[in-house]
Amino acid sequence: MPQACGDYNETVTFPRSSGILLHPTSLPGRFGIGDLGPEAYGFIDFLADAGQKIWQVLPLGPTGYGDSPYQLFSAFAGNPLLISPDRLAEEGLLTSGEMARAPVYPAGEVDYGSVIRFKFELLRAAYGRFGAHAELESFRQENAAWLGDYALFMAVKAAHGGESIWSRWEPDIAARRPDALAAWRSRLADEIAFVEFTQYMFSRQWRSLHDYARERGVRMMGDLPIYVAHDSADVWSHPDLFQLDDHGDAAVMSGVPPDYFSATGQLWGNPIYRWDRMAESGFGWWIDRVRAATTQLDMVRVDHFRGLEAYWEVPAGETTARNGRWVKGPGAALFEALQEALGELPIVAENLGVITPEVEAIRTQFGFPGMAILQFAFGKDPQAPDFKPHNYPRDRVAYTGTHDNDTTVGWWSSAGAGDSTRTAEDIRQEREFTRRYLATDGSQIHWVFIRALMASVANTVLFPLQDVLGLGSEARMNTPAVPSGNWRWRCSGEALTPAIARRLKEMVITYDR
């Protein structure tokens, strides 16, 4: 067996530093959704000026159901909505007149329906001017393992009105019969080429942005969802790797049991892997996936890490996650295969929820730092002691809150509104303990939280931008178990002030980050 990553490498992979969590869709800009254009470069400048060394993003793939970056049409593709029209115009692929037709978008949030319609009009116009290009052909060849299947999947999906799940397509193409694949590729050749063009442009723009971040001393940290969506090119092109029934639907569903996010648990609904078949192939699909992620990013947070030791399996047809069961996952064997193929893994383990000694043993064996959420430090959750800063080890990635939490100001001021897992007395005691622990009266609670993490021994500390800006619940990114209205928040163009940058930089200097 190869030598495990083992000892936590705090000087190379996770040096003492701080950073900000912000998905690119939340950047400001004139096209209704944040993208990889000028505002993204400006945000990197803000991070550098503020002494922040990490920009954490959510999954960057093309979103499907509910616009969630955790329900993607592909585990490998990029989201075409993140392509910057400004950068396309710089290449002569769009005209100022075309961009000037942008609708008036609502302030502070993404209207996905309107954004999708307009941005795809721009992308098709750019595609029409692009023509044949040697770099695009090289991109096709370099990404042949996934790009062809993804482009065909999206083209066939569009031909079915965009709504139909692949298991409801005609049986021959749903089952990927060779004659059907050939016929649909011929029929949809132009649409397939358009999809490939968007992936090429996303890749180019992301690579350019990533290079700029490196120049400014900022590392990019991303997010790897444990599961893929049922309605995805991955499940359609590799059905043998997933637990599906005879119709191609999920035979069992993913989720988590009741926890501090939801009293009924979270029913994600994704199909669950056939880990036996994954192992027989040497975990090749996972190796390809993690290779792609670590090529695109400097560090990767593995979402729901505990599900790789044992996962919560819910029978098909259930409407909540209550009636599930724990089933053993691949455990250390997966990471041994990944390490053998890829070397040291720059992974952060999202070890939240029902965490067992077996989960922690795998994390420790491979030297993956775990997470701590300060908002959860003051209540009765079983993990609360581990989330208190005086108990942090150095190999910890500590957050004020994540994309699944309310903002810190919202958490403090809402008194637990809508949280069925805590009583009024629980909330009162939690607030009182927070006041004692942090020696605060609650004023500017977001800065109190930020300073507590900056001063801690945790080598990596991260703050959602909403907390840096002191925003309330209106700026929350996601509410778990709520199926709509999430992933919409956007930052205003005037929010990132020099005064905020100076305040963060002062803490960086004070606390050696």
Dihedral over Cα of 142, 145, 149, 150: its sign: negative
Structure tokens at 51: 């002494």
The active-site residue out of 35, 223, 259, 303 is 303
**Sheet bearing 266-271, strands edge to edge:** 266-271, 252-256, 310-315, 325-328
Task: State how beta strands 396-399 and 370-373 pair.
Answer: parallel
H-run or E-run covering 209: helix 189-215
Three-class SS string for 229-282? Answer: CCCCHHHHHCHHHECECCCCCECEEEEECCCCCCCCCEEEEEECECHHHHHHCC
Rounded alpha-carbon distances, angstroms, from residue 78 to 37, 81, 205, 232, 367: 15, 9, 11, 13, 29
Q: Does the annotation count 350 as an active-site position?
A: yes
Rounded alpha-carbon distances, angstroms, from residue 404 to 26, 360, 477: 15, 22, 7
Task: Report the alpha-carbon distance of residue 105 to residue 29 in Å, rounded.
Answer: 10
Q: What single-letter DSSP state applies at residue 348? A: E
Q: Does the annotation count 303 as an active-site position?
A: yes
Which amino acid does the sequence have at 54? I
Task: Report the alpha-carbon distance of residue 295 to residue 202 in Å, rounded.
Answer: 14
The active-site residue out of 67, 223, 350, 430 is 350
**272 and 227 Cβ atoms separated by less than 8 Å:** yes
**318 and 267 Cβ atoms separated by less than 8 Å:** yes
Task: Report the alpha-carbon distance of residue 309 to residue 322 in Å, rounded.
Answer: 20
Task: State how beta strands 252-256 and 266-271 pair.
Answer: antiparallel
H-run or E-run covering 197: helix 189-215
The active-site residue out of 191, 404, 419, 426 is 404
Task: Report the alpha-carbon distance of residue 292 to residue 461 in Å, rounded.
Answer: 25
Residues recognised as catalytic: 303, 350, 404
